[in-house]
C-alpha cells in the first residue's frame, strides 16, 4: 500500500529527527548543574516526543482511516496474536490480577532498590531528579514515554510495515530493534535492557490485545525509576534556587 509506505518513511524520519545528535545532547545534559537548565531540557524533550511520536500516530491513523486501532488490535496482527496465550479471555479477575501485580511488583522493586542501594541499569543517572521541582518533569516524561512509545513502536510502526509488506512479524521485529537502538544514549547495557523490555511489551500487547495495558505498564516502569525510587531514596534536594534562577519552575 503506497500510503502506508509513505507514512512509514515519514515515521522513520521523525525518529531520525528526534534522535539526531542525541548522544551529544545527552553528554551535554550530564554536565548541567543548575536546575533551571535541566528543567528547560526536560521541557524540550517532552515537546519533541509529542512531535516525533504522538503526532505521527494520530495523523497517520486518521489518514489511513484506522484510528480505531488505538482501541482494537488491527486484524493484521491476528495471525501472530493467535500464537500467544490470550490473557484477557480468562475474565475480569485476570485483568485485575495483571494490573495489580504490575503495580505491586514495581513498588516492591522500588523498595528493594532503596534497601540495596542498587544503581539503575544503563547510563540513566543524569535523568534522575535532583530536587523536588524536577519530579513533575520526570513524571511527565514517564507518562509521555509510556503513551507515545507504545503507540508508536507497538502499534503504528508494525501496522505500517504490515500494510506495506503483508508481514506483521517483520514489523514487530524491526520496531523492537529500533526501540532498543533509540536508547543508545544509555550505553550497551541500556540498549539490551530496553530491547528486552520492548520484547515483553510486544508479547503483552499481543496476548492482551489492549494497547492501554502496555502503555500503563510502561508508564509504571518509568515512574518507578524516575519518580518513586528517587523519592524513597531521600536524596532529593530541597535547596532554594541558585542566584539568577529566581523562582522559575
Residues of the chain where predicted confidence (pLDDT) is lower than 70 = 21-23, 87-123, 235, 237-249
The DSSP element (H or E) to which 176 belongs, if any, is helix 168-181
pLDDT, position 100: 58
147/212 Cα distance (integer angstroms): 8
Q: At what angle do helices 211-223 and 187-208 cross, to 10 degrees?
A: 150
Rounded to an integer, what distance in angstroms lies between the CA atom of residue 68 and that of residue 73?
Answer: 8
CA distances from 247 to 9, 20, 36, 208, 241 (A): 43, 32, 9, 46, 7
DSSP assignment of 181-207, as one string? HTTGGGHHHHHHHHHHHHHHHHHHHHH
End-to-end CA distance of the chain: 47
User: What is the pLDDT at residue 67?
Assistant: 97
pLDDT at site 189: 85
Cell 503495580 locates to 103
The sign of the dihedral angle between the CA atoms of 218, 33, 243, 245 is: negative
Domain segments of the chain as ranges: 2-233
**What pLDDT sits at residue 118?**
53
pLDDT for the residue numbered 244: 47
> The whole model's pTM is what?
0.83
DSSP code, position 32: -
Distance CA 141, CA 130 (A): 15
d(CA 31, CA 29): 5
pLDDT in the model for residue 164: 95
The pLDDT score that the predictor gives to residue 243 is 45
Look at residues 12, 17, 26 and name the one whose alpha carbon lies nearest to residue 185. 26
Give the single-character DSSP code of 65.
Answer: T
Amino acid at each position: 500500500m503506497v500510503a502506508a509506505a509513505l507514512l512509514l518513511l515519514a515515521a522513520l524520519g521523525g525518529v531520525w529527527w528526534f534522535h539526531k545528535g542525541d548522544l551529544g545532547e545527552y553528554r551535554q545534559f550530564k554536565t548541567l548543574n543548575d536546575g533551571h537548565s535541566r528543567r528547560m531540557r526536560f521541557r524540550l524533550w517532552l515537546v519533541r516526543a509529542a512531535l516525533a511520536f504522538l503526532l505521527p500516530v494520530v495523523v497517520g491513523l486518521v489518514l489511513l482511516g484506522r484510528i480505531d486501532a488505538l482501541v482494537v488490535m488491527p486484524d493484521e496482527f491476528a495471525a501472530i496474536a493467535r500464537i500467544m496465550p490470550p490473557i484477557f479471555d480468562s475474565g475480569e479477575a485476570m485483568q485485575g490480577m495483571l494490573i495489580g501485580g504490575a503495580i505491586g511488583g514495581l513498588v516492591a522493586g522500588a523498595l528493594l532498590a532503596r534497601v540495596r542501594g542498587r544503581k539503575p541499569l544503563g547510563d540513566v543517572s543524569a535523568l534522575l531528579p535532583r530536587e523536588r521541582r524536577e519530579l513533575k518533569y520526570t513524571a511527565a516524561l514517564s507518562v509521555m514515554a509510556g503513551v507515545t512509545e507504545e503507540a508508536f513502536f507497538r502499534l503504528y510502526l508494525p501496522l505500517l510495515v504490515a500494510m506495506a509488506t503483508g508481514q506483521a512479524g517483520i514489523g514487530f521485529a524491526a520496531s523492537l530493534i529500533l526501540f532498543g537502538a533509540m536508547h543508545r544514549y544509555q550505553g550497551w547495557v541500556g540498549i539490551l535492557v530496553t530491547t528486552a523490555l520492548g520484547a515483553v511489551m510486544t508479547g503483552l500487547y499481543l496476548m492482551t490485545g489492549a494497547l492501554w495495558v502496555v502503555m500503563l505498564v510502561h508508564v509504571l516502569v518509568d515512574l518507578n525509576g524516575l519518580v518513586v525510587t528517587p523519592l524513597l531514596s531521600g536524596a532529593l534536594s530541597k535547596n532554594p534556587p541558585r542566584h539568577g534562577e529566581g523562582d522559575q519552575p
